[in-house]
A and B are shown apart, each in its own frame.
Chain A
Amino acid sequence: MIKVFYNLPKKVIFCKLCVMSNQRPSSIPEFKHTKNRKNAKYLHLDENNVCDACKQAKIKEKIDWKKREEELIRLLDKYRSSDGSYDCLVPGSGGKDSIFQSHILKYKYRMNPLTCTWPPIIYTDYGYENFKNWIELGGFDNITYKQNGKVMKLLTKLAIKNLLHPFQTFILGQKNLAPKIANKFNINLIFYGENEAEYGNPIADNLKSIRDKSFYVYKSLDEIYISGLKVQEILEKYPFVKKSDILTYLPLQEEEYELKDLQVHYLGYYLKWIPQETYYYAAENCDFKARPYRTQGTYNKYSSIDDKIDDLHFYTQYIKYGLGRCSYDSSQEVRNKHLNRVEAKALVKKFDGEFPDKYINEVLDFIDMKKEEFYNLCNKFRSPHLWKKTGKGYKLRHTVNQDGTDD
């Protein structure tokens, strides 16, 4: 019996329409992410080997977008302010999607958005330029919540050691900051962009415009894990960390939430979301610039480019689930018909799992880890049912190109 980590499905099956496999994790509230991923769910494939994300794409083709836009306008009319206060909040970092969300809400639908930013762990210079252009050329008020660097460094390092998850502190902040800011400013509406379900959460999720509150509300500290540890453990082990330092990463508490009419919506429910078109929109309206070279591990240049640690994040996904950044990008483009499956497979063969050496030294310096230690750590996180150790290092047992060691 080959061992299986993270509660992953034993048998690797690829979707026959895109290049995703049933090893792709579905979203869970990040603050419940434990090492063994006991209750984790993975991308569902039906009996014909078609994944939920591809089915969702088919459903999307039949949506009456005119009607959805009318629904949006009704919602906005209900909350639109006329007294000079903010009426909605758009969290973002100045990437193409947050530019699109905030800009269209403000200039087409005449809302009064506040924007808020949980800054990347390590900004890329072009990412920072895009952030500045978003606020300065786009014209938005912005609250940037600059974290305690010392604590973030520690938590990021622990998340890598315990979960091989370099991006966790960013995800926590990015997801949890907005409801707290909205609460402080008495804003009722928060807009995220796309629903994660488009990429493979259970289909039912996507029928709603509202984000499930389990993602941004918690009851008690006991249920919270950060960097794979209970909050209490962190506080005991690292005396310089105060509870107030940790609360920054946590969601809204349920008691606070109950008092307010707070709604977290996906704009992607109301407006047809095509990543490539948001890129155009951002370039046209806020002079958004793509990364000045191909992103390592994939073929494009315009998505998720503001954090130097992001490339490593995708690399660790490749280690843990056998799916790299190119598998994600090309599957999405196949569903949007920008690519066909033959091209996607060729791209995966060419780029998936490419080691992100461009920023690796900087990232490891930041968390104070030796390269050797990081490589060894990666090997520990390879699930044996996905990886085979060969004379030439670790090889995937199964790939979408069927050239794995066990295919």
Chain B
Amino acid sequence: MKHIRLIARLDVKGPNLVKGVRLDGLRALGSPDSFAEFYYKNNIDEIFYQDVVASLYDRNNIFDIVRKTTKKIFVPITISGGLRNLTDINKALESGADKIALNTAAIKNPELINQAASKFGSSTIIISIECIKHGEKYLAYTDNGREFTGKEVINWAKEVQSRGAGEILITSIDNDGTGNGFDNVLIKKISNIISIPIIAHGGAGKKEHFIQAINFGANALAVASMFHYNALLNKKKNNLVLNKNNLEGNYDYIKKKLSYKNFGKESILSIKKYLRNYKIKMR
């Protein structure tokens, strides 16, 4: 069995790390690079940066944050959000990213996957698929879960593999931000038909969810809310920069010192320890 990876997913909007529920209602939580640094020090395997509004505004300003991050962090970094063509991908890689992820652009122009894979190598290209369950079917969305495409997820996953994608990040919009667990049925359906690594995302709430998703076929687990809200329990000690005087962003959560009850109090280290008990190989 290959190593299982834990990935911290950082959704970014403007200067802020943000997090929603089911990809909507974005709370601002602080300065993204301070969180990335904290996760790095706590043994995270990879960092995944998502510019959540890049497609919405046709802009891209995540590169500066990545540039800052790469000076202090030495694990693979992925950039996602608003990358439209080979030039954008090139820029993202030049800013210090090791991999890039495509969603909206790949659905609009699937040929881009072939071009990107042949130019930059499959191992650099992740295809991100955002899914909502409709009855028994899963359908793909773009623009951070906003735009309905009607594309059926399982066939789309097969197609992106054949076009040369190196990995698939599969987001369950239904479970995102809820702490109710990953969508294991979805993970199983995809792992049954494809051979490239699957990054499961959306729903992590307690350590048991991780082993379940791995058993259903996930090769890596991307986690946002659970890591962020736990990191925030010790803002000072964890050296998190909160930015709460920023002129934009919903910082009410931070200011009111609220807590979010749906997430277990686990650290990256304690999850890794827990998984090792199940003979899961980890870095």
Q: Residues of A with Cβ closer than 8 Å to B?
A: 272, 274, 276-277, 279-280, 283-284, 287, 289-290, 292-294, 299-302, 336-340, 343, 346-347, 350
Contacts and interface: CB of A to CB of B under 8 A. Distances in A.
Nearest to A338: B250
Nearest to A285: B261
Given A277-B250, A283-B178, A337-B249, A289 B27 contact: no
Given A280-B260, A289-B174, 9 more contacts: A276-B250, A277-B250, A277-B252, A284-B261, A289-B22, A294-B148, A340-B247, A347-B56, A350-B56
A280 B141 contact: no
Q: Which of B25, B141, B178, B249 has the most CB of A within 10 A?
A: B25
B151 interface: no
Interface string B172-200: 01100110000000000000000000000
Interface string B22-54: 111111000000000000000000000000010
A274 B252 contact: yes
Contacts of B145: 301
A292 B148 CA distance: 8
A8 to B, nearest CB: 31
A294 B146 contact: yes
A294 B248 contact: no
A280 to B, nearest CB: 6
B21 interface: yes
Contacts of A346: 56-57
Contacts of A336: 250
B247 A279 contact: no
Contacts of A292: 132, 134, 148, 173-174
A338 B249 contact: yes
B249 A280 contact: no
B253 interface: yes
A259 to B, nearest CB: 41
B146 A280 contact: no
B228 to A, nearest CB: 13
A350 B146 CA distance: 13
A218 B147 CA distance: 45
Interface residues of B, number: 33
Interface in B54-89: 56-57
B143 interface: yes
A301 B261 CA distance: 23
A301 B144 CA distance: 11
Interface of B: 14, 21-27, 53, 56-57, 132, 134, 141, 143, 145-148, 173-174, 177-178, 247-253, 260-262
Contacts, number: 79
Contact of A293 (B27, B146, B247, B253): B146
Leading 8 A-B pairs by shortest Cβ distance: A294-B146, A293-B148, A279-B25, A283-B21, A301-B24, A292-B132, A276-B25, A338-B250
A302 B26 CA distance: 11
A302 B250 contact: no
Q: Which of B132, B134, B249 has the most CB of A within 10 A?
A: B249
B247 A337 contact: yes
Nearest to B148: A293
B57 A277 contact: no
Q: Which of A277, A280, A287, A343 has the most CB of B within 10 A?
A: A280
A281 to B, nearest CB: 9
A274 B252 CA distance: 8
11 contacts: A280-B25, A280-B260, A283-B178, A294-B147, A299-B146, A302-B24, A337-B251, A340-B14, A340-B248, A346-B57, A350-B56
B248 A280 contact: no
B256 to A, nearest CB: 8
Contacts of B146: 293-294, 299, 301
Nearest to A336: B250
A279 B248 contact: no
B22 A290 contact: yes
A301 B24 CA distance: 7
Contacts of A284: 260-262
Q: Which of A276, A289, A302 has the most CB of B within 10 A?
A: A276
A388 B253 CA distance: 45
A168 to B, nearest CB: 28
Contacts of B247: 337, 340
B161 to A, nearest CB: 26
A274 B25 CA distance: 11
A104 to B, nearest CB: 13
A79 to B, nearest CB: 27
Contact of B25 (A302, A337, A347, A350): A302
A284 B262 CA distance: 7
A338 B248 contact: yes
